[in-house]
Structure 1
Amino acid sequence: MSNKQTNSDVILIGAGVMSATLGTLLKELVPDWKITVLEKLAAAGEESSNEWNNAGTGHSALCELNYTVEKSDGTVDISKAIKINEQFQLSRQFWSYLVESKLIRNPQDFIMPLPHMSYVRGEANVKFLKNRYEAMSRSPLFQGMEFSDDPAKLAEWIPLMMKNRKHDEPIAATKIDSGTDVNFGALTRMLFEHLKSKNVEINYKHSVNSLKRTSDGLWNLKVKNLATGSVEQHTAKFVFIGAGGGSLHLLQKSGIPEGRHIGGFPVSGLFMVCTNPQVVEQHHAKVYGKASVGAPPMSVPHLDTRYIDNKKSLLFGPFAGFSPKFLKTGSMFDLVTSVKPDNLITMLAAGAKNMALTKYLIQQLMLSKEQRMEELRDFIPDARSEDWDLVVAGQRVQVIKDTVEGGKGTLQFGTEVVSAADGSIAALLGASPGASTAVHVMLEVIKKCFPQQLKEWEPKIKEMIPSYGVSLVENPGLFQELLESTAQTLGLNETASSQKAGEQKKVQRTVS
């Protein structure tokens, strides 16, 4: 038993991109605050933020069809797409501020320009995509988007996908060049290196056993040092639970009433990965398709160019899997132990409501590699099994809660912050768009949990994030200015130019 006791202003539980973002924001706003990080694993960004545990899409609704809804009259509602795009712009601005301030370096190590595309087959889907394109083109946030149903044009955009494709049904795609591939693992590690240089105490191999509110309003955490086996006491005025799938259990341990009647359902993701240079060099985009009828939103198939450790690869998926673990490194009892008297009815209601999801997961689990290859061949007709390997991505815990619209046991597919009424503790739950909108989500945490300081902090926030509090869709001039300036700071223009030159040389070599 250790006698170590640490008193902090802020404790961040979990060393993922969310804690890294909140810690960095707070260090800029109040440099003298003492911040302590507690992470169960041996390094930062090892769970959901890790580059192999997510698709690395800078989610800005440029290509994700599940962010745009087709109405009964055939028109397309793009309000959610606008919202997510604006949220991603906050992340771009904050990352640019960090680069300009030399707080992090080499942005190309975590962000690269990459066209974002949507791809559909079949007459009804082509009509939907055309309507979606027309609706989005009217918004300043999606200027530059192109639509084509011409196989010759599509062969220029996605040669690997069009090679030897049978033209037995209509096919169409949209393309916009302002998309990005983001290595959230690399970004997380950069931010924690920065925090370490600012005297933030980062404790790896430290697992939080309990959280209790003390009589003087502080939070007392009992923490096990997994390296030594000793138990430490950590006290703070504010606690942020950013532990990915582990957040739900910690929220329940906190005992705050806001955490009641909330459950979680774990879904694991699997991807097919190709590193064969001859295949990889034929594709340069993130291409999102449409989920099959009856499939949940997180199952949208996509074929992505990825940049990891300066190496280019292709990733296709996701295929859904199931494990009762809430984290890849979690326990087989995570799901069972998350069921409490206060959320039992909620969980049972969710089970009854989501039989289609259960059926879908069972079907996905039973797929052989060759069956997964057949799904890949909808994207790449010539895909060969020997070029592709199956990798297990991260665990995601979908939030289950009672809502007015959906009733008891409604499965949520977004990112959600649960905070105490007095703002002394907040927990992040949920999945996509997650990391892409980390800055927006953490600004919401700051707004909810530090209302007394917000007015004093606003000038600094606006210095870091110029569009804070401003609607970009209603200020197209500001949007364009910030899009161009962040692209310049993050090196997206120069990288895109060099990539294009490289692709042209490869085409010329092929032709000659």
Structure 2
Amino acid sequence: MSSIQEETDVILIGAGVMSATLGSLLKELAPEWNIKVFEKLEKAGEESSNEWNNAGTGHAALCELNYTSEQPDGSIDISKAVKINEQFQISRQFWSYLVNSNLIRNPQDFIMPIPHMSLVQGEKNVTFLKKRFEALSNNPLFEGMEYTEDDEKLKEWIPLAMEGRTSNEPIAATKIDSGTDVNFGALTRTLFDHLKSKNVEFHYKHSVEDLKRTSDGSWELKVKDLHTNKKEYHKAKFVFIGGGGGSLHLLQKSGIPESKQIGGFPVSGLFLVCNNPFVVEQHHAKVYGKAKVGAPPMSVPHLDTRYINNEKSLLFGPFAGFSPKFLKYGSVFDLLTSIKPNNVLTMLAAGAKEMSLTKYLIQQVMLSHEKRMEELREFIPNAKNDDWEIVVAGQRVQVIKDTEKGKGTLQFGTEVVSAEDGSIAALLGASPGASTAVNVMLEVLEKCFPEHMIGWEGKIKEMIPSYGESLVENRELFREIHKHTDETLGLCEKEPVYS
């Protein structure tokens, strides 16, 4: 039995942090619009947004070395780091607005202050880190960053990582206290609780099976109620596909020209988690290392203090795995069914170009627990096998597309694909992902609702005071906004050191 539902203004597919963010923005900008959310799982934030399925780092390029690259002349390009930091500041501002407006409460449930550190070994890496520090220190977004090669200072910063270290190789670290740990699962649930109070309609255990354009320009979605197995049809003027790895299939079903020549390659993640409270209490930082030569950007090793379910945890990883699934709760046929006549050459080109990635994934899949522990001991020399166990994190689908770099180029970022008329948009890609959700959803609004942006601008600036301005070019505005969001979000663990 099927039923035709009345048309709504907006449909959000996927109950993750992206849909939660877009819905929250729209309810402030156009409160009269009707919004429906469809999610095939039983509750929100269970796939990529779930706290166990991602690193929980508030990505601001404070410690992630893959966001700064060394140029042929030896200089350090910090442009990507600056861009990502500015985007995270936008997220902080929006979350702060929601807290100040009493639209959400208890920010400590989803964001906590935690030092962010970079740690490297070897003369070449130490030289790189020092040059990176010098390049970033001149930028207002990275004020307060410290650098040291001194063993005693390192023992103060990371006692667990320094205990038992016998290597004679040079070692160096940077540290900045303005970093954060973000529980994106808790944030997603908090935002959806807020949207429920705004009469947003939620449909859990509902799988969107198809979508097509209607004669009046709307989109009609074929939806299966997984409780009853009944088919439903829902219409909307605008559709956002925020289904994590599942977005690609639905984007392809839309048939829009912008969906052509795009493929995806799934990579699963695994982390070691410490179950010994005594060890957990000896470490208080997110410490990022440098990816090994030949390893892809998503393989950067890091030792993280996490706050999950109001408990402090310690995780190390990620270790890559391979599954043909595009979602953790997806199908083993996801990769195969994503290959279409219009993207098969793109996928084949990527396969030929990315042999090193294939080799890396095979090596990672073959790792034993002891081999993973050996990698952990590069961070914690005295790590004991019995204190650590493996947990399977989420699936990430890396976008493959044709670019100026050639056919079948593997992308390592987050991007929006939208129809020319703005009636539908999909989010694809991986890191920095959730940390930049607000900036990415503003991009969706700009692409899909250009006719409303002039009217919405005042409200957007109320929510995000730096909207339309460069924080890196306005040191005083950055300091003012950063101080305000620190106070509102409860992040004043330590006064920042300004130069």
TM bucket, shorter chain: over 0.9
Amino acid at match of 2:248: L
Aligned residue number for residue 418 of structure 2: 419
Q: Using the alignment, how far apart are the partners of 2:380 and 2:336 within structure 1?
A: 40
How far does the alpha carbon of each residue in 1:249-307 deviate from its partner, in whole angstroms, 9 at most, with x for none?
00000000000000000000000001311000000000000000000000000000000
Unaligned runs of 5+ in 1: 499-512
Aligned residue number for residue 292 of structure 2: 292
**Residue 497 of structure 1: CA displacement?**
5.9
Amino acid at match of 1:75: S
Q: Using the alignment, how far apart are the partners of 1:62 and 1:476 within structure 2?
A: 17
Aligned residue number for residue 56 of structure 1: 56
How far does the alpha carbon of each residue in 1:186-236 deviate from its partner, in whole angstroms, 9 at most, with x for none?
000000010011000010001011110001100000100001111111000
How far does the alpha carbon of each residue in 1:304-324 deviate from its partner, in whole angstroms, 9 at most, with x for none?
000001100100000000000
Q: Using the alignment, how far apart are the partners of 2:21 and 2:260 within structure 1?
A: 27
Q: Using the alignment, how far apart are the partners of 1:275 and 1:19 within structure 2?
A: 33
SS in 2 for 1:98: helix
Amino acid at match of 1:326: F
Aligned residue number for residue 436 of structure 2: 437
Aligned residue number for residue 472 of structure 2: 473
Q: Using the alignment, how far apart are the partners of 2:275 and 2:51 within structure 1?
A: 15
TM-score, normalization: structure 2? 0.99
Q: Is 1:289–1:301's contact at 8 Å kept on the other side of the alignment?
A: yes
**Residue 137 of structure 1: CA displacement?**
0.3
Aligned residue number for residue 176 of structure 1: 176
Q: Is 2:14–2:37's contact at 8 Å kept on the other side of the alignment?
A: yes
SS in 2 for 1:442: helix
Aligned residue number for residue 454 of structure 2: 455
**Residue 167 of structure 1: CA displacement?**
3.9
Closer, same or farther: CA 61–281 of 1 in aligned 2, 3 Å: same
Q: CA RMSD of the aligned region, Å?
A: 0.8
SS in 2 for 1:392: strand
Aligned residue number for residue 30 of structure 1: 30
Q: Using the alignment, how far apart are the partners of 2:458 and 2:286 within structure 1?
A: 36
Q: Using the alignment, how far apart are the partners of 2:98 and 2:5 within structure 1?
A: 33
Amino acid at match of 2:479: Q
Aligned residue number for residue 70 of structure 1: 70
**Residue 3 of structure 1: CA displacement?**
1.8
Q: Using the alignment, how far apart are the partners of 1:81 and 1:476 within structure 2?
A: 17
Q: Is 2:116–2:179's contact at 8 Å kept on the other side of the alignment?
A: yes
SS in 2 for 1:472: coil
Q: Is 1:93–1:464's contact at 8 Å kept on the other side of the alignment?
A: yes
Q: Using the alignment, how far apart are the partners of 1:491 and 1:2 within structure 2?
A: 49
- Map 1:225-304 → 2, pairs under 5 A: 225-304=225-304
Q: Using the alignment, how far apart are the partners of 1:409 and 1:242 within structure 2?
A: 23
Q: Using the alignment, how far apart are the partners of 1:343 and 1:3 within structure 2?
A: 34
**Residue 72 of structure 1: CA displacement?**
1.5
Q: Using the alignment, how far apart are the partners of 1:416 and 1:141 within structure 2?
A: 23
Aligned residue number for residue 141 of structure 2: 141
SS in 2 for 1:492: coil
SS in 1 for 2:438: helix
Q: Is 2:59–2:84's contact at 8 Å kept on the other side of the alignment?
A: yes
Aligned residue number for residue 503 of structure 1: none
Q: Using the alignment, how far apart are the partners of 1:422 and 1:161 within structure 2?
A: 53
**Residue 4 of structure 1: CA displacement?**
4.5
How far does the alpha carbon of each residue in 1:397-451 deviate from its partner, in whole angstroms, 9 at most, with x for none?
00000001x2000000000100000000000000000000000000000000000
Which region of structure 1 is more displaced relative to structure 2, 67-76 or 112-121? 67-76
Aligned residue number for residue 108 of structure 2: 108
SS in 1 for 2:7: strand
Q: Is 1:85–1:141's contact at 8 Å kept on the other side of the alignment?
A: yes
Q: Using the alignment, how far apart are the partners of 1:167 and 1:243 within structure 2?
A: 45
Structure 1 ranges of 4+ moved more than 3 A:
none
Aligned residue number for residue 410 of structure 1: 409
Aligned residue number for residue 193 of structure 1: 193
Q: Is 1:417–1:427's contact at 8 Å kept on the other side of the alignment?
A: yes
Q: Does 1:483 align with 2:482?
A: yes
SS in 2 for 1:3: strand
Amino acid at match of 1:370: E
Amino acid at match of 2:460: I
Aligned residue number for residue 392 of structure 2: 392
Amino acid at match of 2:194: H
Aligned residue number for residue 305 of structure 1: 305
Amino acid at match of 1:443: L
Number of residue pairs matched by the alignment: 495
Q: Is 1:275–1:312's contact at 8 Å kept on the other side of the alignment?
A: no
Aligned residue number for residue 331 of structure 2: 331
SS in 1 for 2:367: coil
Aligned residue number for residue 509 of structure 1: none
Amino acid at match of 2:305: T
**Residue 6 of structure 1: CA displacement?**
3.4
Q: Using the alignment, how far apart are the partners of 2:120 and 2:36 within structure 1?
A: 47
Q: Is 2:177–2:494's contact at 8 Å kept on the other side of the alignment?
A: no
Amino acid at match of 1:133: F
Aligned residue number for residue 163 of structure 2: 163
Amino acid at match of 2:486: A
Aligned residue number for residue 221 of structure 2: 221
Amino acid at match of 1:473: V
Q: Does 1:428 align with 2:427?
A: yes
